Structure 1
């Protein structure tokens, strides 16, 4: 309610003629504000070219909305299939880890079998060392790095995903020239064990990229950690 020092002023309603004239002066209004069409009721019969064109515009709008819905549904189905496929790969990798007959077989499963199973080009087990002897270090795919390398590459994170990158010799050896994207996964093997990580390298520059989901690869990393502790009889 207006106070004693104010006066209520009602804006005069626009007439039909004024609205039409304004729209004529701003022909791109509906194109720039398509949501306004949702507020309008289409004519029930054709009464002129302009009305017919407006109906055609609304029909085209509905077609585009339908195409957007179909495309969104298609992407959802494709993503679901892709996620299920990746989940199946991770499950098979876990089964192979559990079927290892000895520690050497376990390590070879990681450094040799994982690449084919997970559809990457190379997998390395990276272990930090200050020069001390580490058992089974002569196995293919096991690579020694200097102290601090794991934290340097992971930046304090458990997982690092990099697309359009260059593979490092210290991680992949002679296979580094193949690597165009990579996933680095920290391994917390147990008390007293040196820092370690897994490196998955791919020649596909878009296979790994920042912001990608890491739930499945993190799960695989946890399984690897626990298997290490069992084989080496290490505490958590």
Structure 2
């Protein structure tokens, strides 16, 4: 047997002093296992090597899952912070006009949506000059408009929060911005006993900002805060 070292002295000494360097390197370990299989010949099945490959594959899947969970947690935390900042901004308003202006301005910017619209159902005339003075953010629709818009006139249950991708949709809500909207969130609003319902619509030019596969917990919370604020404003006689 040849006892003459075949490896450079410093490298060999480093490996002997700290063999974990090899054990922790998947590429090196894979190469060593492959060399061992070649040395045993083609008619021998190395069950230990097969088991190692399966364990490596399982470890890779676990690491991918771990990264996905961490990424989802950070995304959820960022979304929670956005909703909290938007809610605080809504609570700052001392006049209804300011409330609506903030809705289409700072609140929309905080939530990173391109268009924000508040729709109130009414049996009256939506062309009231007082309503027009409140800006494009406030739309008035006929009774039943909100459910019709959310379901697109289909016979399906009306959810509190509806997320979907759209195109060429919602002219009656977005006006001239409708052509740019690619996804939207529709929040059904309960404005209290004796009042017709309302709807808060968030539109985005990003087709992936709102999709049906996303969770709705944060937007449900935001909608609950918003509808309570609206009840307060409506009780004040705005």
Range class of TM-score, shorter chain: 0.7 to 0.9
1:153 to 143, 149, 155: 149
- Counterpart CA distance in 1 for 2:183 and 2:210 is 6
Alignment TM-score, normalising by the size of structure 2: 0.72
- Say which SS state the counterpart of residue 49 (structure 1) adopts: coil
2:207 equivalent in structure 1: 205
1:107 equivalent in structure 2: 100
2:13 equivalent in structure 1: none
- Counterpart CA distance in 2 for 1:135 and 1:148 is 22
Cα offset for 1:137? 4.5
1:169 equivalent in structure 2: 171
- Counterpart CA distance in 1 for 2:121 and 2:168 is 21
1:143 to 124, 132, 139: 139
1:19 equivalent in structure 2: none
- Say which SS state the counterpart of residue 197 (structure 1) adopts: strand
CA contact (8 A) 2:90 2:107 kept: no
2:56 equivalent in structure 1: 63
2:7 equivalent in structure 1: none
- Counterpart CA distance in 2 for 1:49 and 1:164 is 59
Deviation track 1:77-117 (CA, whole Å, cap 9, x = no partner) reads 11000000000000001111111121111112222222211
CA contact (8 A) 1:166 1:181 kept: no
2:70 equivalent in structure 1: 77
**Structure 1 residues 166 and 57 mapped into 2: Cα distance closer, same or farther (>3 Å)?**
farther
Q: How does 1:45-56 map to 2 (within 5 A)?
A: 48-51=41-44, 54-56=47-49
1:129 equivalent in structure 2: 122
Matched, 1:219 2:224: no
Higher helix share: 2
2:28 equivalent in structure 1: none
1:120 to 109, 113, 116: 113
Which runs of no fewer than 5 residues in structure 2 stay unpaired? 1-36, 152-157
Cα offset for 1:211? 3.3
Cα offset for 1:143? 1.5
Deviation track 1:35-72 (CA, whole Å, cap 9, x = no partner) reads xxxxxxxxxx9854344555443332222211111110
Cα offset for 1:74? 0.5
Deviation track 1:176-207 (CA, whole Å, cap 9, x = no partner) reads 11111111001111223332101111111111
1:31 equivalent in structure 2: none
CA contact (8 A) 1:111 1:142 kept: no
Matched, 1:192 2:194: yes
- Counterpart CA distance in 2 for 1:120 and 1:51 is 62
- Say which SS state the counterpart of residue 133 (structure 2) adopts: coil
CA contact (8 A) 1:158 1:185 kept: yes
